[in-house]
Structure 1
């Protein structure tokens, strides 16, 4: 035990907490796992990688490490390895894990719109105004509380101090659409790795202010906290702040005052589509946090203002919907696709915009 403690202390002396825990990446990304990087100290005798990791990461278990190995989530010097691999001095070991559990979550009875379910995972359609997991100001009534009512033994993920049973990724409070929920720890590890490796396909639809001129394009930058409001995010171009983010967009329909676009995520940063479309000059319609809930285009007349007030009443939240998700089944490897229709508020807004007399 003394040598293990010395090895941990030697490691921490030469590596920052961010390199060891990388927890900031996990909090700012929509995927819910933690990523560890460790270097075997000088004098390290050959040791199974699962034992090596459990010695240096005493807050996790051998079984969770074994599950990570089964999904290809342990690598040594850039190569995936099994738990039987013997770590040697100087080896660079990387591990990706779903977050460990946090207690004090109580089940709450609520209806969930489950679109698919098998023994390993399920697909849920999240409505607007539902928060995915407990956070400051949202201690009850979240999707997680509802999941605990329907499923007793979900694998648990954690971000900062908040438990997130079953959640592999998340959606903003007022974003609707598809979410995948893991029912077993193996499925959690496998699905989390797919999001980390960007092998899933995610398509969103959004209604944005103004006429998007290009039929399609790519927005790229680094998304980080907004310099003036820490609750918001900002697209930085210099790369010194934030995390790399890429969104591909395609125009589906133009209304003159607004545009229906499809967005394909290459990365999954917090508020990514909302931030990228604002950066492009086309804030999401009715997005109160980024200014989309005030009139951005059109004539300064009472008739137009009344028309827009009706539009805001039809869709009073950001017009963003997670419409499509494709992933590999964690057991069979089969490619699976899930679709969902636009919700009524976005459908109603589209119909209203199609008939607008102010084009």
Structure 2
């Protein structure tokens, strides 16, 4: 049976989705917005189709939360490198080349396929959070296909909601390491440039002014090692926009080695399984206990090989 919720507003002037998110903490803002878009929310007896509707004191809100859809994504027995796991939270070291969730052209072999196998009951039911929908169960944040490293998975709706809040509030911290072309003049810096969808190539992101739809994006960086015409850099994300590090480093004039979209296309003579970008550390608060959890994802062998080859070349000059 679908769940039905009725609320009487005692506030004035808030947006509908904001009010519902405050009153129903077990539902994420994105889940609430989807319910509104799916005509599952009534405002004073009428279907409300806009999340921006202003609620007033005395308004009556009725929500219908449909039963979870049966997942049409098939579980697959794909090995996972687990960095942390309990009944609420799972942190994995995603390999380069693995897509996080199914999409056109990637209907199998994804991280979600592997998670559905790993997080299943004896009856075959999934134990993952359903907030992300049928295609993205448990997925709180993403890593690009060709980026390896630590990624957090929510096993319950409560954990999903709490983890989303941490990423939005920037209390969850993500650290990356990358090898880029060129040698920055400074030892460290901050890139504060908004990112939005590319005007021509809709599969790419670009630097886009906020006035034209770009979203604030802040990346902090510090050089770990200079390797001649290449540099090993550590990155700390303050925001989490799509392709953020890749777009920001390309804007600096120092694209990531092996990046098929924003890179230079030059070869370094090393067989890379993905771009030279790795999410090596994820630090967050446990969604139930509140204790800090820090997961370290080992550097993949091809990345280490690339660094060693560049070191030898630099030392030989």
Q: Do both share a fold (TM > 0.5)? A: yes
CA contact (8 A) 2:190 2:220 kept: yes
Change (3 A) 1:102 1:222: farther
Residue 114 of structure 1 aligns with which residue? 82
What is the aligned partner in structure 2 of residue 336 from structure 1? 293
Residue 176 of structure 1: aligned partner = 148
Check whether the contact 1:156–1:163 (CA below 8 A) recurs between aligned residues: no
Q: Are residues 1:278 and 2:250 paired?
A: yes
Alignment: residue pair count: 272
Give matches, 1:206-355, under 5 Å. 206-237=178-209, 239-294=211-266, 308=268, 310-311=269-270, 313=271, 315-355=272-312
Give the unaligned 5+ runs of structure 2: 1-14, 19-27, 34-50, 121-126
Provide the rounded CA distance (Å) in 1 between the counterparts of 2:29 and 2:266: 33
> Contact (CA 8 Å) 1:125, 1:176: kept in 2 or not?
yes
**Are the equivalent residues in 2 in contact too, given 1:203–1:265 (CA < 8 A)?**
yes
Contact 1:248 1:266 in 2 (8 A): yes
CA distance in 2, matches of 1:192, 1:329: 12
CA RMSD of aligned residues (A): 2.7
8 A Cα contact 2:249 2:255, kept in partner: yes
Tell me the CA shift for residue 342 of structure 1.
1.3
* TM-score of the aligned structures, taking structure 2 as reference length: 0.78
Structure with more helix by fraction: 1
Residue 59 of structure 1: CA displacement? Answer: 4.5
- The change in CA–CA distance for 1:109 and 1:253 in structure 2 (over 3 A counts) is same
Distance 2:256 2:305 in 1: 16
For residues 60-114 of structure 1, the C-alpha deviation after alignment (integer angstroms, 9 at most, x for no partner) is: 68xxxxxxxxxxxxxxxxxxxxxxxxxxxxxxxxxxxxxx757312111111111
8 Å contact from structure 1 (residues 126, 176) kept in 2: yes
Question: Is residue 2:131 matched to residue 1:157?
Answer: yes
What SS does the corresponding residue of 2:258 show, helix, strand or coil? coil
Residues 1:126 and 2:94 are matched in the alignment: yes
CA displacement, residues 138-194 of structure 1 (integer Å, 9 cap, x when unaligned): 0111010111011122112337xx621111111000100001111111111111111
Aligned to 2:3: none
Q: Can you give the 5+ residue segments of structure 1 that lack an aligned partner in the other structure?
A: 1-14, 22-30, 62-99, 296-307
* C-alpha distance in 1 between matches for 2:199 and 2:261: 15
Compute the displacement of 1:231 (Å).
Answer: 0.9
Distance 2:89 2:298 in 1: 21
Contact 1:177 / 1:322 at 8 angstroms: preserved in 2?
A: yes
Partner of 2:64: 58
Partner residue in 2 for 1:201: 173
Structure 1 residues 39-68: Cα deviation after superposition (integer angstroms, max 9, x where no partner)? 5545x5276xxxx3xx1x53468xxxxxxx
- TM-score norm. by structure 1 comes to 0.69
Structure 1 residues 239, 39: CA separation in 2 closer, same or farther (over 3 Å shift)? Answer: closer
